[in-house]
Structure 1
Amino acid sequence: MELRQVVLAKQLFTEATNFQRRQSALHSGLAVSLAQDAVEMFLRAVYKQRCGTGQEPKDFTGVIDRIDQAAGAQEELRVPFRARLTDLNKARVNFKHYGLYPDRTDARQLLEYASDFFGAATQRFFGQDFEGISLGDLVQASDIRERLHAATEAARRGESDEALGLAAEAVDLSVLALLDVLPNSARYSFLPDIVQHDRKTEQAWRDLPKHIDRNITALRRMAVTVSLPIDLAALQRFNEFVPGLQRVLSGTYYRSKRNSEAPSPDDVDFCIRFATDFALAVEARLGGY
C-alpha cells in the first residue's frame, strides 16, 4: 500500500473541508481545488499499486483511464463515481485557470462527492476504512507516533482512559521537543550572605529556584503552545478530558484523572485527532531542527 501518499491525500482533503467551512468565495474555490488534488493524489497511489509499470499519465482523466483499463471486466476494481470526479475536476480547472469561483452550495456538493469517493475507493483498492487511516503515520518522531497509534487502538477497544492518557503524552512530548530547541539560560545559584545564618530562611531561599523554575517551565510551555497554528478552543476542550501528567527523569509518565464528565467516543476521537494535529504542527514549526 502506498501508505504515505494515501495519508497525505487524507490530510489534503481535511484541509479542503476546513476551507469549505469558511464564508468567502475564495475559500470555496480553495476547498474544491484541494479536494481535487487529494483525489488525484489518491488515484496516483492506486495507479502505482495496480499499474506500476510504464510512464504515469500526466493528466487526471488519464490516471483514471489507466486504472480502469487494468481492471478490465472486473467492475469492482474500476474507479468509483467517475462522473462525479469529472465534475470536481472541471470545477478545479475553472477556479485555477479561469478564476471562476464555485458557488458555496456547489462547493459543498463537490466535497460530498469527494467524500463518497474516498469512502468507497479506500475500501475497494486498499481494503481499509478511509476514516481509519491515521494522519499519525506522518509524524516523524517514533515515540509520539507510537503513542498516537496506541491511543487509536485503545479507543477502538473502548479503553477511553488509556486512549486519553496516550493522547496527552503525545502532546506533552511534542511540547518538550519544541522546548528542547529554545534557549533556557535562567540560573538561580546565588545565596545572599544575609540568609546563611538562619536555617529556615536559608532552606526557603534554596527552595525558591524550584518554585521559580516550575512557574517558568509552565509559562514556556504555554508560550510555545499558543505560538502554534492551533484552535485555542480545541486546546481547551482537549485539556478538559485528558488526564494531568507528571513525567519523571526516566521518562515514565504518571497520570492523574481529570474531574470531568465521562468522555463520549466522539470526545475521545477528538482528543486523538487534536494530539495528531498538534504533533504535526510542532514538527512543521521545528523545520530543519
Structure 2
Amino acid sequence: MTEKEIILKRLAIIKHLYMIGLEQSKQVETVAAFSILSFHDSIEMFLKLLAEKKNVKSEKFSFLDYWTKIPTLTLKESMRNLNARRVNIKHKGILPSKTDIELSRVNTTDFFNQNVIEHFKIEFGSISLIDLVSYKKVKEHLKISQESLNSDNIENSIENAALAFDVLLYSYEENKIGNNRYSPFFFGKDLSFNSAFSMGIEDRKMSQFVDKVKDSLEAMQKAIKVMSLGIDYKRFVKFNLLTPHIIKTMEGNHIAQIYGEKKWTKENCQYCIDFVIDSSLKLQEFDFDIEEIVTLKWKLEK
C-alpha cells in the first residue's frame, strides 16, 4: 500500500467517525449530546494525521496547540468552543443544548470542508468509506453504485446498492456453515422457486394462498436475519422500501427485480449506499471463520 493509499484510508476512518457523530446529532437530545464527543475525536484524529504529514511532533500537544504549530488550520475559535463543550460533557457531566449540538455539527462540517482540501488537496465530500469495506464483491457493487450515482444513472445505482446488501449477507454467512451444513443465521430454506406457478397449482384460491404464505415467510426470514446480525432494522425498512427485490438464480447469481414505482432521488440513492457501508462495517467489527472454532466433518469427508 502506497503512502497516498494509507492517507486516504485514514481519512476514510476519520470521515466514518464524523458520520457517526452526524447520525448521533439527529437523535433524541440525550443521545445527540454525545455527537460532540464523536466530532471532537474525528477532528483530533485529523490533527494527528496532519501533524505526521508535516513532520510536527505532537505527542505532548493540547487540542489547541495544533493551531499554534500549524497556522494554516482554520476555525480555531469554533474548535475552542467545541473543545469546551466536550470538556463539559466528559469531565463535568453538563449536557449541551440543542443549539450547541447544531453549532458543533455545522462547525465540524466546515472544519473538514476547509482543512481537508487545504492540506490534503482532496474534497472532504469525495472521500469514500467504501474503501473500508473488506468484502470484495460487496465493495465492487458499492463502487458501481457510487459511480452510477455520480453519473446520474439512478436506476443502476440503486440496483447495485441492493445487490451489495444481498451479497453482504451471503458473504458474512459463507464461512460460518457448521457440521449441519447450515449457517448459525439460517432461518429456513430459500423459497424463491416455490411459487404456486412453479408448483403447478391451478386452483386460483389455493394459488393465491400459497404465494401469500411464501411472501410472508420470506419477509420474516429476512427480518429475523437482519436483526440477528445486529443491523439497524428501522434503517433497513427504509432501505428495503427503496430497493428492488433480489432473487438468487439456480446458478447462484443475484438478480434485481423491480416492483412498483419508487421515488429514486439522489438523496435516497446515497442513503442506500451509506446503509450498506454502515452494515458492512458493523459486521466487520465481529467476524469469524467457523473453522477457527470447530472441525468440519463434511470437509474431511471430501
Q: Provide TM-score, normalisation by structure 1.
A: 0.76
One-letter code of the match for 1:252? N
Q: 1:46 aligns with which of 50, 53, 73?
A: 50
Report the aligned-residue RMSD.
3.1
The structure whose residues are more often helix, as a share, is 1
Partner of residue 258, structure 2:
257
Identity, % of aligned pairs? 21
Partner of residue 33, structure 1:
37
Report Cα offsets for 1:62-103 as digits up to 9, x if no partner: 3333332xxxxxxxxx11111111111122122212222222
Residue 18 of structure 2 corresponds to residue 17 of structure 1? no
**Rounded Cα–Cα distance in structure 2 between residues aligned with 1:37 and 1:285:** 22
**SS of residue in 1 equivalent to 2:246:** strand
**SS of residue in 2 equivalent to 1:245:** strand
**Rounded Cα–Cα distance in structure 1 between residues aligned with 2:26 and 2:215:** 40
**SS of residue in 2 equivalent to 1:109:** helix
**SS of residue in 2 equivalent to 1:17:** helix
**SS of residue in 2 equivalent to 1:260:** coil
Please list, as runs of the form range in 1=range in 2, the aligned pairs for 1:118-133 lying within 5 A after superposition.
118-133=112-127
Structure 1 residue runs of 5 or longer lacking an equivalent are 69-77, 188-202, 205-210
* Alpha-carbon spacing, 1:243–1:21, altered in 2? closer, same or farther (3 Å): closer
**Rounded Cα–Cα distance in structure 1 between residues aligned with 2:161 and 2:258:** 13
Structure 2 residue runs of 5 or longer lacking an equivalent are 183-198, 201-210, 291-302
Partner of residue 68, structure 2:
65
Moved more, 248-257 or 273-282: 248-257
* Alpha-carbon spacing, 1:264–1:130, altered in 2? closer, same or farther (3 Å): same
Note if contact 2:20-2:38 (Cα within 8 Å) is conserved in structure 1. yes
Q: 1:167 aligns with which of 161, 168, 175?
A: 161
**Rounded Cα–Cα distance in structure 1 between residues aligned with 2:84 and 2:73:** 17
One-letter code of the match for 2:133? V
Partner of residue 90, structure 1:
84
Note if contact 1:165-1:255 (Cα within 8 Å) is conserved in structure 2. yes
Q: Provide TM-score, normalisation by structure 2.
A: 0.73
One-letter code of the match for 2:73? V
Partner of residue 102, structure 1:
96
Q: In the TM superposition, what is the alpha-carbon distance from 1:264 to its structure 2 partner?
A: 1.2
One-letter code of the match for 2:40? Q
Q: In the TM superposition, what is the alpha-carbon distance from 1:37 to its structure 2 partner?
A: 0.7
**Rounded Cα–Cα distance in structure 2 between residues aligned with 1:288 and 1:186:** 14
One-letter code of the match for 2:227? V
* Alpha-carbon spacing, 1:284–1:217, altered in 2? closer, same or farther (3 Å): farther
**SS of residue in 1 equivalent to 2:256:** strand
**Rounded Cα–Cα distance in structure 2 between residues aligned with 1:229 and 1:91:** 31
Q: 2:172 aligns with which of 159, 171, 178?
A: 178
**Rounded Cα–Cα distance in structure 2 between residues aligned with 1:183 and 1:218:** 25
* Alpha-carbon spacing, 1:32–1:288, altered in 2? closer, same or farther (3 Å): farther
**SS of residue in 1 equivalent to 2:86:** helix
**SS of residue in 2 equivalent to 1:240:** helix
